[in-house]
Chain A
Amino acid sequence: DVQLLESGGGLVQPGGSLRLSCAASGFTFSSHAMTWVRQAPGTGLEWVAGIATSGGNTYYAASVEGRFTITRDNSKNTMYLQMSSLRGEDTATYFCARWGGVIPLVHPIDYWGQGTLVTVSS
């Protein structure tokens, strides 16, 4: 079975940094583009970032571009989201998710992790 397990969430002060990890199993990780989606408390879904299978191409929402960096390590079946200059509006549950194919952006998200909560507050 496909499993996506996020870790690294927690409480961080405004201006601080945090790195989220997503450990994947149950499928050929290197054959799928991957993505992060977040959900602020009580609100809807917001796409955050995406990465191609090789890690060579990355894509960001305007709200996080320049502050967040998405990477992946195919040898470890793991994706990361390095978040810096964090703001209160970044408070959300962050979902690791798998695009349903090799090419980023042109597939629906077919599997989601359970999410990890990031709280930005002093």
Chain B
Amino acid sequence: DIQMTQSPSSLSAFVGDRVTITCRASQGISSYLAWYQQKPGKAPKLLIYAASTLQAGVPSRFSGGGSGTDFTLTISSLQPEDVATYYCQKYNSAPQMFGQGTKVEIK
């Protein structure tokens, strides 16, 4: 099975900072990569799919990049409402593996 590894597992940054989360697949997955945001006690929300396509309604400060095995999620200017855990997911085949998550907090 393809494994998804995110880093870091947590980060703390100031409001307005640029934040980048990475996700690495153990084998190539082309661009079959999605990013989700999950706030405490809530269901996950799709932010980005096909590695770099922003889901409708998601603020433009979120962006995604990469292909093959290495991917990034960038928040260009961190806002208080971005406090959440972020997950990557590969969706080219079964099993549909998620990364272990990156918890983002405000300093």
Q: Is A61 in contact with chain B by the CB < 8 A criterion?
A: yes
Give a binary string over B24-36; 1 marks a CB under 8 Å from any A CB, 0 the rest: 0000000010101
Closest chain A residue to B34, Cβ basis: A108
Are B98's CB and A47's CB within 8 A?
yes
Are A113's CB and B43's CB within 8 A?
yes
Are B96's CB and A105's CB within 8 A?
yes
The residues in B between 93 and 107 inclusive whose CB is less than 8 angstroms from any CB of A are 93-101
* B56 CB, min distance to chain A CBs, angstroms: 9
The residues in A between 1 and 60 inclusive whose CB is less than 8 angstroms from any CB of B are 35, 37, 44-47, 50, 59-60
Give a binary string over B52-80; 1 marks a CB under 8 Å from any A CB, 0 the rest: 00010000000000000000000000000
Are B101's CB and A109's CB within 8 A?
no
Find chain B residues with CB under 8 A from A46 CB: 98
Are A62's CB and B46's CB within 8 A?
no
Instruction: List 10 other contacts, CB 8 Å, given A45-B36, A112-B45.
Output: A44-B87, A45-B87, A46-B98, A59-B94, A59-B95, A108-B34, A108-B46, A109-B36, A109-B91, A113-B43
26 A/B residue pairs, CB under 8 Å, sorted by A: A37-B44, A44-B85, A44-B87, A44-B98, A44-B101, A45-B87, A45-B89, A45-B98, A47-B95, A47-B97, A61-B94, A62-B1, A100-B49, A105-B96, A106-B32, A107-B91, A108-B34, A108-B46, A108-B49, A108-B89, A109-B34, A109-B46, A109-B89, A112-B43, A112-B45, A114-B42
